[in-house]
Amino acid sequence: MNAPEIRLIGADGENIGVVTPQRGLELAEQAGLDIVEISPNAKPPVCKIMDLGKFKYEQQKREAEARKNQKTIEIKEVKFRPNTDKHDFEVKMRNVMKFLENGDKVKITMRFRGREMAHQNLGLDLLKRVEEAVGETGKVENRPKTEGRQMTMMIGPSK
């Protein structure tokens, strides 16, 4: 603290007022605590009398809680082929729905081999079936697009 005066808050949260930094240190020593600068950019800077170790511990706990509550969105991939049969389609769709309900994005990949490239309309029809099966659970973020021998579509969870 290099300010000529500081606004001091007591250990119980009461406003002591504007004092010199030396007076603030004296009050903190009398209470057996430390003086912590809460808001250095304020005029005058705001300081509080508290236990520095306890303050750092509480701050770490708050940060850890915030990190824990953050949900990382993963991109899950489900691969189809143009000739995927009914039961395989249903099993893969169950996985797609589960991923979307967990809040993850799903990348649907349609893989073409050999002569299947000549029948890309079959793959597009299957991707449209996937889109219809997802319904209200998810929304298509990227429409089907062809990249080399595969067609991809991205589906995100609907809020």
CATH code assigned at 54:
3.10.20.80
Choosing from 48, 68, 88, the residue where a domain stops is 68
Give the position of tokens 């406003």.
15
Is residue 1 one of the residues assigned to a domain? no
pLDDT tens-digit map of 64-109: 988 887 777 789 999 999 888 899 999 999 999 999 998 899 999 9
- Residues 132 and 80 grouped into a single domain: yes
Q: Residue 21 has which token pair?
A: 């930094």
Q: Residue 11 has which token pair?
A: 């250990």
pLDDT tens-digit map of 4-14: 889 999 888 88
Q: What percent of the chain has pLDDT over 70?
A: 99
- Residues 146 and 110 grouped into a single domain: yes
Give the position of tokens 């899950």.
76
- Residues 60 and 38 grouped into a single domain: yes
Choosing from 24, 40, 68, the residue where a domain stops is 68
- Residues 86 and 63 grouped into a single domain: no
- Residues 15 and 53 grouped into a single domain: yes
Q: Residue 4 has which token pair?
A: 């000529």
- Residues 47 and 12 grouped into a single domain: yes
Rg over CA atoms, the chain: 30
- Residues 22 and 38 grouped into a single domain: yes
For the ranges 31-40, 87-96, 132-141, the maximum mean pLDDT occurs at 87-96
- Strand pairing category for 105-111 and 75-80: parallel
Write 68-71 long-range contacts (CB < 8 A, 24+).
Answer: 71/103
How large is the angle between the packed helices 120-134 and 86-101, nearest 10 degrees?
Answer: 50
- Residues 79 and 54 grouped into a single domain: no
Using the predicted structure, report yes or no on whether residue 114 has a pLDDT greater than 80: yes
Choosing from 68, 90, 119, the residue where a domain stops is 68
- Residues 81 and 149 grouped into a single domain: yes
- Residues 50 and 83 grouped into a single domain: no
Is residue 150 one of the residues assigned to a domain? yes
Q: Domain count for the chain, please give it.
A: 2
Instruction: Return the CATH number at 143.
Output: 3.30.110.10
Q: Residue 132 sits in which domain range? A: 75-157
- Residues 23 and 56 grouped into a single domain: yes
Q: Residue 61 has which token pair?
A: 């706990």
